[in-house]
Amino acid sequence: MKKRILITGAAGFLGSHLCDKFIQEGYEVIGMDNLITGDLRNIEHLFKLPEFEFYHHDVTKFVHVAGKLDYILHFASPASPIDYLKIPIQTLKVGSLGTHNLLGLAKEKNARILIASTSEVYGDPLVHPQNEDYYGNVNTIGPRGVYDEAKRFQESITMAYHRYHGLETRIVRIFNTYGPRMRLNDGRVIPAFIGQALRGEDLTVFGDGSQTRSFCYVDDQIDGIYRLLLSDYVYPINIGNPHEITIRDFAEEIIKLTGTDQKVVYKTLPEDDPMQRQPDITRAKDILGWEPKVSRSEGMQKTYEYFKGLTEEELHKSAH
Ligand code: NAD
Ligand code: UDP
């Protein structure tokens, strides 16, 4: 009998790739999404498959699924800074109420649940690179606090369900991940820069561009999540690519990749924007035998090809 998995946030970037992965691995997949930041086009190719079902549902409301469930992946949440600044209350609710509902469902179905946490639990980190034992440096009342604290609460309630109810839980701390199906206007740096290059606009670097990020290609991320779900490990694990770059150098890389004549312009750094971010992936290597395989140049080439395939109309849709 096929294993049955519920994936929340299924119409989003990571959720849609997870749907593909689990269909490929022979699972029955239920995708759930309220489409607040997602797009059905990301999963429309799955609608014809008998192994795939879609529930249009907001997970902050009671979640019901008929029949057995073996696994739950909770990926529903706004994920880009401009999204969660625009819908802060929904962001807090999906991390808290939504997670509570899904933990309750997991308990009822005796299913294993993996929740999508984030490098943002480390806030603007004072430890570099960030390992899982670092408790973080988050401004609870700052504009990003709605996302960071929702995710920190999510981790706490997940561990409480594990300790108190004996639920099988997994926690992945995802570091910046990119690839096809990111939303061009979601404000994250990769779609922002590629979109600007394709529209012939200057690339907007926030601050002086000395802040760093480390970008993981989506196929590597999905492989790490898959391995974690099937492992025995209940504590958080970082999944990300440790190859770190400043945003200023990254803008130059994108100018080369796209062959644009545009230049870099500097804009105000958003409040609480972390100055550095790089995952320590020792735990993922030791416990999951996982490390990223796709170089930034290869991953960025594939991502650029995807964005080049969008229509003119999609390309010119303004950011919110
Ligand atoms: P995304 O915005 O593309 O996808 C999120 C999906 O969740 C969307 O389809 C949205 O409509 C859905 N959603 C939001 N609130 C919902 C609700 N209340 N009920 C049902 N569906 C809801 O974002 P993404 O990049 O795919 O991120 C997916 C998950 O991974 C998020 O939990 C995010 O916090 C986490 N994450 C992503 C990254 C990254 O780099 N992409 C990094 C860290 C963590
Ligand atoms: N950034 C930028 N220009 C943009 C969009 C983002 O310089 O047009 C910067 C942003 O300030 C941050 C980095 O790029 O320092 C990564 O931003 P993103 O929103 O992708 O992710 P996060 O801050 O959540 O890591």
Q: What's the pLDDT tens digit per position in 70-125?
A: 999 999 999 999 999 999 999 999 999 999 999 999 999 999 999 999 999 999 99
> Does 312 score more than 60 pLDDT?
yes
Ligand 1 centroid vs 275 CA: distance in angstroms?
23
Place of tokens 């269909």: 23
pLDDT digits (tens, 9 = 90+) for 45-54: 999 999 999 9
Nearest atom, ligand 2, residue 176 CA? 25
Tokens 């009998």 label which residue?
Answer: 1
pLDDT over threshold 70, residue 257: yes
How many angstroms does the Cα of residue 121 sit away from the middle of ligand 2?
A: 16
The model carries a pTM of 0.98
Pocket of ligand 1 (CB under 6 A): 8-9, 11-15, 33-38, 58-60, 75-79, 94, 98, 116, 118, 174, 176-177
Mutate to test the pocket of ligand 2, among 189, 267, 276 (most ligand atoms within 8 A of CB): 189
Query: Is the CB of residue 212 less than 8 Å from the CB of residue 247?
Result: yes
Stretch 217-223: mean pLDDT? 98
Q: Which active-site residues does the annotation give?
A: 147
Give the chain's end-to-end CA distance (angstroms, integer): 44
User: Which of 206, 249, 300 should be mutated for ligand 2, with most atoms under 8 A from CB?
Assistant: 206
pLDDT at residue 317, rounded to an integer: 78
For the cut 50, the answer to whether the pLDDT of residue 320 exceeds it is no
Mean model confidence pLDDT for the chain:
97
Neighbours of 261 (CB within 10 A): 8
Pick the ligand that lies closest to the CA of residue 269.
2
Query: Closest residue (by CA) to atom 1 of ligand 1?
Result: 12
43 contacts 18 by C-beta, under 8 angstroms: no
Distance CA 124, CA 130 (A): 10
pLDDT surpassing 90 at residue 314? no
Tokens coding 254: 């994108």
Pocket of ligand 2 contains residue 213 by CB under 6 Å: yes
Burial class (CB in 10 A: 0-12, 13-18, 19+), 66: exposed
Share of the chain above pLDDT 70, in %: 99
Any atom of ligand 2 within 6 Å of the Cβ of 192: yes
Minimum-distance ligand 1 atom for the alpha carbon of 98: 18
Greatest extent of the chain over all pairs of C-alpha atoms, in Å: 58
Separation CA 79–CA 85 (nearest Å): 10
Question: Residue 316 — pLDDT band, cuts 50, 70, 90?
Answer: confident
| Ligand 2 atom closest to the CA of 211, numbered from 1 | 15
CA distances from 210 to 245, 248, 266, 311 (A): 9, 6, 11, 33
Q: Indicate which atom in ligand 1 lies nearest the CA of residue 216.
A: 40
CA–CA separation, 146 and 158 (whole Å) = 18
Q: What is the three-class DSSP state of 47?
A: coil
Q: How many A from CA of 188 to the centre of ligand 1?
A: 13
Reported as a pLDDT band with limits 50, 70 and 90, residue 246 is: very high
Residue nearest to atom 12 of ligand 2 (CA): 273
Whole-number percent of the chain with pLDDT over 90: 96
Q: How many CB atoms lie within 10 A of CB 244?
A: 15
Give the ipTM of the model, two decimals please. Answer: 0.98
Average pLDDT on 252-260 reads: 96
Q: What is the pLDDT of residue 318?
A: 55
Mean pLDDT of 154-165: 98
Distances from the Cα of 165 to the Cαs of 107, 110, 228, in angstroms? 8, 11, 21
